[in-house]
Amino acid sequence: MARLPDEVVNRIKAEVSLVRLIESQGHALKRQGKDYVMCCPFHADDTPSLVVSPDSNLWHCMGACQMGGSVIRAIGIGLIRIAMTRSSRRCKQP
């Protein structure tokens, strides 16, 4: 498989808002200070543990799985399309 040039990858990371991308998929993020939170789709989560930081355009789970990354990784591992559907159904919103 061909690899995208670093310039293209860096441009995507800079120009695609992770917050807007998640919201465009119909998932609600809750504002918490300067960041946004939601339940992590990769483990059982009763309270929001996945943090999305708009300033750095990165996400990180503060819970059991400790996964995180950029918008590229979020798309690559299915955070946006597949896994978040499960999370939004089981997470208790405060």
pLDDT digits (tens, 9 = 90+) for 34-75: 999 998 888 888 899 999 999 999 999 999 889 999 998 888
- Indicate the class that CATH gives domain 6-90: alpha beta
Q: What is the pTM of this model?
A: 0.78
Structural domain spans, the chain: 6-90
Half-sphere CA count of 21, side-chain side, radius 13 A: 24
